[in-house]
Copies of this chain bind each other. A is one copy, B any other.
């Protein structure tokens, strides 16, 4: 098929985004090209703006247009409770839940032999600095309930053991809105052992 190389390049680039395959990338490219003024230009503008302003927070690893990020700079947030997450996406998810009023530490990965991510690849500087200064009361390990997440949580727990900080992890159990019969045994076992008296 004779498709112009410019369109082809656009499709290829779009197809590399998570959640888009070759098929949906074609649809997206077409939608952009058919509406240059209302879709293509505004998206390009938003990308340009983001590329120019967004940076990684040197304190916690969050992405923001100010440095340090608005979470680290917010005096209302409790700097003595630090929530450790794998990625900025996890940070966003927890912020949507709105339960954590402390600060964050974005590791940028979890320990994994497969992907070759070792302790030296984790962004821990900010956290360890605050812990060593004695400014931290609690570290919440909000890592995924995967082998890598559990390994990382265990390693961090040992690393934090010498300091007088409470190390906690997220509760496991039945997801809200979840039906029991579709849940795996691991989740149900965790839910049983973390049951609460009414």
Please report A residues at the B interface, Cβ cutoff 8 Å.
1-7, 9-10, 12-14, 16-20, 24, 26-34, 36, 39-44, 46-51, 53-54, 63-66, 70-71, 74, 87-89, 92, 95-96, 98
Closest Cβ neighbor of A69 among chain B residues: B4
CB-CB under 8 A from A41, the residues of chain B are 51
Known: A26-B89, A89-B27. A64 touches B19 (CB 8 A): no
Q: What 5 new A-B contacts, CB under 8 Å, besides A18-B24, A19-B20?
A: A4-B65, A17-B31, A18-B28, A18-B31, A29-B50
User: In the complex, are the beta carbons of A30 and B88 less than 8 A apart?
Assistant: yes
CB-CB under 8 A from A1, the residues of chain B are 92, 95-96, 98
A147 to chain B, nearest CB (A): 22
